[in-house]
Structure 1
Amino acid sequence: MPPSKWPGERLGLPQHGPSSIGRPGRRILGFAIDWAIAIAVSAIFFNYDPAANLIIFVILQIVFIPTIGASIGHRLVGLRLISLHGGWIGLWRPVVRSLLLGIALPALVWDSDQRGFHDKIAGTALIRQ
């Protein structure tokens, strides 16, 4: 399959505006906000334990994606996560996506639709609200 002309084209998403693929700047800022929240919680309850940071980060993703449609950070920057199969994101997609995100490498490998490997495996896309 040839590369997309714009991120999300092969997924049937618009080039710009609402429902277009979330671009790297917003994604990274949302991730940074989520990571900062995890660090704050870890500092308060676990004396800033690096393992606790990661576990808290993953738990926040798993809890908030199915309930509010995105992580707290992604919501704050105007992004939400969708299932490419339509309907509710469900429970297993956030778990798989978050565990893969927690090991970092899958999130660093992107396709021409700017979807990380963690999103490809989970069948999800991070889009603009």
Structure 2
Amino acid sequence: MDKQPRWTQTWISGTRAAGVDLGYPGERLGLPAEGSGSVARFGRRFGAVLVDWLICTWAIAQGLLRADPRSAAWVGLGVFALEYVVLVGFIGMTFGMRLFGIRVATLDGGGRPPFGAVLLRTLLLCLAVPALIWDRDQRGLHDRASRTVVVRL
């Protein structure tokens, strides 16, 4: 019996187990491996979206707007989309992103994304599925379509 690993062992363990080095997330984009300007990891991004969703749904939709509990999710989604368009469009980050130390940047120089890219990114983010499909640089389909990346402050 030979000692070669089964194909499932390399497939399940990922490409690194097969001897392929893909580098760190953001290396292909010219971003640093760690610290300011590096690609924001899943935990920070998830925490920021969760904070923003709670602010938009509970504090604004149900608290300020007094939305009916049955429609609060849809009203909250509308407020969430408005928050993203306005805040990411003008300052490059939302309240949750600021709390978790991340921001949205363009690929070409790290500046604030243009308004059209923010609209596209927000629309795809509200659909949720594009945000759940990531590439090896930890960019969701909404980031790829809008040519943006979420980086650490």
Give TM class, smaller chain.
Answer: over 0.9
Query: Which protein, 1 or 2, shows the higher relative CO under an 8 Å CA cutoff with sep ≥ 6?
Result: 1
Contact map agreement 2:131 2:140 (CA 8 A) in 1: yes
Instruction: Return the alpha-carbon distance in structure 2 between the equivalents of residues 72 and 3 of structure 1.
Output: 36
Superposition pairs of residues 35-74 of structure 1, within 5 angstroms: 35-39=53-57, 40-44=59-63, 45=65, 46-48=67-69, 49-74=72-97
Contact map agreement 1:62 1:98 (CA 8 A) in 2: yes
Unaligned stretches of 5+ in structure 1?
A: none
The one-character-per-residue Cα deviations of 1:42-76 (angstroms, maximum 9, x if unpaired) are 10202342111111111100000021211110111
Identity %: 38
How many positions carry a matched residue from both structures? 128
Aligned residue among 45, 64, 71 for 1:27: 45
Stretches (4+) displaced over 2 A:
85-88
- Sort the Cα spacing of 1:13 and 1:36 in 2 relative to 1 into closer, same or farther, 3 A: same
Indicate yes or no: 2:142 matched with 1:118: yes
- Sort the Cα spacing of 1:3 and 1:102 in 2 relative to 1 into closer, same or farther, 3 A: farther
Contact map agreement 2:104 2:112 (CA 8 A) in 1: no
TM-score for both structures, normalised by structure 2: 0.79
SS in 2 for 1:5: coil
Q: Which residue of 2 aligns with 1:103?
A: 127
The one-character-per-residue Cα deviations of 1:3-46 (angstroms, maximum 9, x if unpaired) are 74111011000110000000011000000110011112110202
Contact map agreement 1:3 1:112 (CA 8 A) in 2: no
SS in 2 for 1:81: strand
| Amino acid aligned to 1:122 | S
Instruction: Return the alpha-carbon distance in structure 1 between the equivalents of residues 48 and 105 of structure 2.
Output: 16
Unaligned stretches of 5+ in structure 2?
A: 1-19
| Amino acid aligned to 2:62 | A
Instruction: Return the alpha-carbon distance in structure 2 between the equivalents of residues 15 and 23 of structure 1.
Output: 11
SS in 1 for 2:74: helix
- Sort the Cα spacing of 1:30 and 1:3 in 2 relative to 1 into closer, same or farther, 3 A: farther
TM-score for both structures, normalised by structure 1: 0.93
Contact map agreement 2:48 2:96 (CA 8 A) in 1: yes
